[in-house]
């Protein structure tokens, strides 16, 4: 019976052999030969049948032979079929879970410390690299804005967000304003924008200045100019915390100096890693990028297992484990999933 004889994919025998081969290769890192498959898979079939199945799997692109008579190893397609169809997840034990809860609970009031603790959990539990983006601000609604004059062409902007957040910001301006001018500007802005999302307000102000400047009177121009300074986005660029990157240096699959150099440069530069993590922000649960699936050449020999985490029903960050394509997916996937749930719980209880 050919390997792909069923409409659902591989037949049961082929799936059993592929699962065994992938798990064996992940565990031992050596090509798996037909003799091993014949002896250890528990299938009552001849070595010739197993060789035929392996040949079919190779033709389908699920396995490949590094050299003649060397046995076979999974390809990216083989790993993908394994994680999508054949995997049996192994969640962390209760002791590990309690350790993770304790670390995250202790850091829950400091977002950067929480991200650092979560990256340490991911790294220590998987012996790979753990990455956690810092929580991004969620929905912020402008409730009120006021201005107070200061000396030397400066003013104090007072912003009330979400009914309870009060932010004070000193803004430099190109001329002095008296109290009545600042009060009129604040009244106009509160009438126009109170109750709207802060990002929406920023976009509207930019459009007003770019497209309708000529039709605005002096008071409106002053108000928008003052608001532009007061509402300037000072949120730092997306950032992540990394732990366990040195774990990757001892792995045979990443032992090539040039590969490691490119990978560590990416960790330092951060842009490509952040772009990949951003693709997971809107994802539903765990996502797995195997080898070239990431779209970044520097990660061709790596797999990245990601999951978003949230606060108040909004996604505010992403965490991930980065390692070789020969990673223990059965253990890594539940660790990433559970850590995402734990960091969400810690944020919502802070």
Residue 182: closest CA among 137, 136, 150: 150
- Map out the domains of the chain as residue ranges: 12-86, 94-137+237-348, 142-230
Parallel, antiparallel or unpaired: strands 73-74 and 63-64: antiparallel
SS3 154: strand
pLDDT of 118-141, one tens digit each?
Answer: 999 999 999 999 999 998 766 678
Q: Is the pLDDT of residue 230 over 70?
A: yes
pLDDT of 248-286, one tens digit each?
Answer: 988 888 878 888 888 888 888 888 888 888 888 878 899
Q: What percent of the chain has pLDDT over 90?
A: 43
Higher local confidence (pLDDT), 204 or 277? 277
C-alpha span between 183 and 177 (Å, rounded): 10
Instruction: Assess contact for 63 and 73: CB atoms under 8 A.
Output: yes
Looking at the domain 12-86, which fold is it? Arc Repressor Mutant, subunit A (1.10.10)
Q: What pLDDT does 5 receive?
A: 41
DSSP state of 88: -
DSSP assignment of 213-262 equals: GGG--HHHHHHHHHHHHHT---PPPP-EEEE-GGGGGG-GGG--HHHHHH
Residue 280, judged by CB atoms within 10 A of its CB (0-12, 13-18, 19+), counts as buried
SS3 288: strand
* Mean pLDDT in residue range 206-230: 71
C-alpha span between 297 and 333 (Å, rounded): 23
Question: Could you tell me which CATH number the domain at 142-230 has?
Answer: 3.30.390
How many Cα atoms are found within 13 Å in the side-chain-facing hemisphere of 157?
Answer: 24
Instruction: Assess contact for 60 and 81: CB atoms under 8 A.
Output: no
Looking at the domain 94-137+237-348, which fold is it? Beta-Lactamase (3.30.450)
Long-range contacts of range 338-341, CB-CB < 8 Å, 24 or more positions apart? 338/91, 338/92, 338/97, 338/100, 339/100, 339/118, 339/121, 339/122, 339/125, 339/307, 340/286, 340/307, 340/308, 340/309, 341/309
Q: What pLDDT does 111 receive?
A: 83
Tell me the residue ranges of DSSP E strands in the chain: 63-64, 73-74, 129-133, 142-149, 154-161, 165-172, 240-243, 287-290, 302-311, 314-324
* Mean pLDDT in residue range 316-326: 95
Q: What pLDDT does 313 receive?
A: 82
- Share the mean pLDDT of the chain: 86
Stretch among 2-16, 69-83, 334-348 having the lowest mean pLDDT: 2-16
Long-range contacts of range 201-207, CB-CB < 8 Å, 24 or more positions apart? 201/142, 201/227, 201/231, 202/231, 202/233, 205/231
Instruction: Assess contact for 129 and 245: CB atoms under 8 A.
Output: yes
> How would residue 214 be classed by pLDDT, with cut points 50, 70 and 90?
low
Q: What pLDDT does 225 receive?
A: 78
Q: What pLDDT does 1 receive?
A: 38
């Amino acid at each position: 019976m050919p390997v792909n004889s069923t409409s659902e994919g591989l037949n049961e025998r082929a799936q059993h052999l592929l699962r065994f081969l992938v798990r064996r290769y992940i565990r031992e890192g050596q090509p798996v030969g037909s003799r091993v498959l014949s002896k250890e898979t528990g299938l009552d079939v001849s070595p010739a049948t197993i060789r035929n199945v392996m040949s079919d799997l190779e033709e389908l692109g699920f396995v490949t032979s590094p050299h003649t008579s060397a046995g076979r190893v999974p390809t990216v397609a083989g790993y993908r079929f394994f994680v999508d169809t054949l995997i049996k997840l192994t969640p962390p034990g209760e002791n590990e879970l309690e350790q993770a809860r304790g670390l995250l609970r202790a850091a829950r009031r400091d977002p950067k410390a929480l991200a650092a603790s979560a990256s340490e959990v991911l790294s220590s539990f998987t012996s790979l690299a753990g990455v956690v983006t810092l929580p991004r601000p969620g929905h912020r609604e402008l409730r009120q804005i006021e201005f107070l004059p200061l000396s030397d062409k400066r003013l104090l902007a007072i912003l009330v967000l979400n009914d309870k957040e009060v932010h004070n910001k000193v803004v430099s301006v190109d001329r002095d304003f008296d109290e009545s001018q600042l009060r009129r500007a604040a009244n106009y802005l509160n009438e126009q924008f109170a109750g709207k999302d802060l990002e929406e307000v920023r976009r509207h102000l930019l459009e007003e200045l770019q497209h309708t400047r000529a039709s605005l009177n002096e008071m409106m121009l002053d108000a928008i100019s003052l608001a532009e300074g007061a509402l300037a986005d000072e949120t730092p660029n997306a950032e992540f915390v990394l732990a366990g990157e040195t774990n990757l240096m001892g792995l045979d699959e990443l032992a090539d100096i040039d590969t490691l150099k490119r990978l560590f440069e990416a960790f330092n530069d951060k842009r490509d890693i952040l772009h990949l993590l951003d693709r997971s922000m809107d994802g539903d649960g765990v996502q797995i990028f195997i080898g070239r699936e990431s779209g970044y050449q520097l990660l061709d020999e790596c797999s990245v297992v990601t999951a978003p985490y949230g606060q108040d029903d909004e996604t505010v960050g992403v965490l991930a484990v980065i390692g070789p394509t020969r990673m223990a997916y059965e253990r890594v996937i539940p660790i990433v999933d559970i850590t995402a749930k734990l960091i969400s719980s810690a944020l919502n209880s802070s």
